[in-house]
Structure 1
Amino acid sequence: MDVQRLLIFREIARARSIGGAARSLGWTQPAVSQHLRHLERQAGTPLVLRRPRGVQLTEAGQALLRHADAIAARVQAATEELEALVQLRAGTVRLAAFPSAGATVVPAAMSLLAGRHPHLDVRLREAEPPQALDLLAAGDVDVALTFAHAGETPAGTEEMVRVPIGQDPLRLVLPRSHPCAEPADVPLHLGELAQEKWAGGCERCTAHLRQACEAAGFAPDIRHGTDDYVLTQALIARGLAVGLLPQLALDAARDPGVAVRPAAGVRPRVLYLLHHREADQIPAVRGALGALTDIAARACRAEHAAPPG
């Protein structure tokens, strides 16, 4: 049966007249009568008895009214739920982010989003960019926060939207006692550390470290490999290595035993938000993208305003 006609029939039953239903709906009486006739043909039996002062429901009409009431209640519930989603009074956003962003950018963005839309439910999964892309492709997350080193082709497919939202500078990290530890605000060339032992990171970060060192004229002696930036700094603080770490990792956790200097000639990595095409038309996703973009922009402004130290 046509749902609209059922709801029109419900108005007739409530008003106890076709004219009353027409006034309630803002329609003409002939239009309401026509819908009632169509519904009765579909039902195969009269639903009302026409009386001089209105209508009286038949037994079939009384039975159908109970279902029409239930349908009206579900339609109203659906309308209210959709309005809540559209007005960001409800909704869920699933986000994947790499660890250092998950410890810095994402909590700030979630806090900002909670202030703007307190009833949104944001769920975070930690994942390096390749894994985050897999989660996005599989539909397990709505948004992926990833990065790409200078010279890399950013992750993504033609079916995905890729939006750059900021830069994450790479810093040389040394023991505080190292002869090159100062001055903190002056860029240091990688070549000055050619004889040092190095700590690498994840597979992609280690590959970028090798490329950067080779561009500086040497092959790095990478003695340690870990994507745990706390462990990397602990090794460096004890004089066991030097390293090249992103600023976000240093913002997330800073070992007091390390010194940090800008890396001369090393371009920053770029942060990207990825999502499926048209996903930004979903209000909850659009709100999350806005909060992440705003926080990343603030972080970039703060980074340009103050030197590392």
Structure 2
Amino acid sequence: MIDLRRLHVLRAVAHYGTVTAAARALHFTTSAASQQIRQLSRELGVDLLEPQGRGVRLTSAARGLLAHADAIQTRWEQAEHDLRAHDGELSGVLRVSGFPVAIAELLAPMAAQLRAHHPRLSVHVREAGVPESFDLLFEGETDLAVVEVTPHNPPRGDARFEQQPLMDDPFDLVVPDGHELAGRACVDLADAALEPWIAPVPYSPCRPHVLSACAAAGFTPDIVHHVLDWDVTAHLVAHGLGVALIPRLARLPSHLPLTRVRCAGDPHRKFLTCVRAGGTARPAVAAALAQVRDLAAALPGGCTARVRPGP
């Protein structure tokens, strides 16, 4: 009989990439996690890890075992939901996570509406970036996450998660009022090629979108300011220190002298909803997903800053 606790350690090594990182996430010592893998290997009579440089990697036997382990985890998730089913009334704790815009526009109103209609259900919201949200899902610390699509997301076919497209969030060029581009209905980003640029910090998931949009327009932006927060970006633009691409859902201070201009080519970021495989069998998760989709569909195209109408 396979020890499911040891199997979970193997899944954590696959998810986090190293035994050390898996041990840290599971609150084990590295030696204790390694011992769990060795014991599982002895039980099965196959090698599960093999040397790779200064580290280790999963063997083909381990990768085959993980396919079954992920299926077991999904069935266990469904079994838990079945056992906890009551009279159809949503109850218990639902944990959701997302980045700031997703919380403000989707998760917070969803939590309020579910609380109003289902008093026995408690929704806990946690701010988290993309990698952390997937870690929280894997660890069972969150039940639903709204994330951006990035090159570092798990593949859409990853059997551990159910990832579904939610919505697109277009980027607008934001310039000071009175800027020569502020009067246009739609701007080709190439017309801003000689401007000083304000861009997200290198580790922001939005930075690749900005660079890709500029590259598609035929130039590399001269980035003079690197910023984490859209509000800070807006203040820099308002003071004439550069231009910026800002997602339409980012709420900017309404008192600032800013104009958003739509961009040719429709640069945008994509949002996904993510749950653990089998998670939608839980009525509370299904209800939250439905509510989030309704909220996303109802979001207006306009923003708090002025947006020039398209052609």
Q: Smaller-chain TM-score range?
A: 0.5 to 0.7
Higher Rg: 1
Is 1:87 aligned to 2:89, yes or no? Answer: yes
Aligned equivalents of 2:125, 2:253: Cα separation in 1: 19
Aligned equivalents of 1:223, 1:217: Cα separation in 2: 19
Aligned equivalents of 2:288, 2:193: Cα separation in 1: 43
Q: Deviations over 1:115-147 (max 9, x none)?
A: 332331111111121221122122211111011
Matches within 5 A, 1:1-309: 82-83=85-86, 86-88=88-90, 90-148=91-149, 152=151, 155=154, 157-183=158-184, 186-202=185-201, 203=203, 204-250=205-251, 253-254=253-254, 256-299=256-299, 302-303=300-301, 308-309=307-308
Alpha-carbon RMSD across the aligned residues, in angstroms, is 2.7
Structure 2 SS opposite 1:292 = helix
The residue aligned with 2:29 is none
Q: Is the 8 A contact 1:98 1:145 kept in 2?
A: yes
Call closer, same or farther: CA 1:104–1:253 in 2, change over 3 Å.
Answer: farther
Q: Is the 8 A contact 1:169 1:268 kept in 2?
A: yes
Q: Deviations over 1:188-223 (max 9, x none)?
A: 111110111111114332222112111111110111
TM-superposed CA distance for 1:155, in Å, is: 4.2
Q: Is the 8 A contact 1:98 1:126 kept in 2?
A: yes
Call closer, same or farther: CA 1:284–1:244 in 2, change over 3 Å.
Answer: same
Call closer, same or farther: CA 1:144–1:170 in 2, change over 3 Å.
Answer: same
Aligned equivalents of 1:253, 1:93: Cα separation in 2: 32
Structure 2 SS opposite 1:177 = coil
Aligned equivalents of 1:182, 1:108: Cα separation in 2: 35
Call closer, same or farther: CA 1:153–1:197 in 2, change over 3 Å.
Answer: same
Q: How many corresponding residue pairs?
A: 222
Structure 1 SS opposite 2:301 = helix
TM-score, length-scaled by structure 1: 0.65
Q: Is the 8 A contact 1:148 1:155 kept in 2?
A: no
Aligned equivalents of 1:261, 1:154: Cα separation in 2: 30
Aligned equivalents of 2:154, 2:223: Cα separation in 1: 26
TM-superposed CA distance for 1:267, in Å, is: 3.0
Q: Is the 8 A contact 1:234 1:255 kept in 2?
A: no
TM-score, length-scaled by structure 2: 0.65
Aligned equivalents of 1:104, 1:146: Cα separation in 2: 13
Aligned equivalents of 1:182, 1:194: Cα separation in 2: 17
Q: Is the 8 A contact 1:147 1:270 kept in 2?
A: yes
Aligned equivalents of 2:243, 2:290: Cα separation in 1: 37
Aligned equivalents of 2:85, 2:253: Cα separation in 1: 41
Q: Is the 8 A contact 2:93 2:122 kept in 1?
A: yes
Q: Is the 8 A contact 2:196 2:243 kept in 1?
A: yes
Q: State the AA in 2 paired with 1:298.
A: A
Q: Is the 8 A contact 2:209 2:268 kept in 1?
A: no
Structure 1 unaligned regions, length at least 5 = 1-80
Q: Is the 8 A contact 1:172 1:244 kept in 2?
A: yes
Aligned equivalents of 2:138, 2:255: Cα separation in 1: 36
Aligned equivalents of 2:296, 2:113: Cα separation in 1: 12
Q: State the AA in 1 paired with 2:280.
A: D
Q: Which has the higher helix share?
A: 1
Aligned equivalents of 1:115, 1:147: Cα separation in 2: 28
Aligned equivalents of 1:118, 1:125: Cα separation in 2: 20
Structure 2 unaligned regions, length at least 5 = 1-83
Structure 2 SS opposite 1:249 = coil
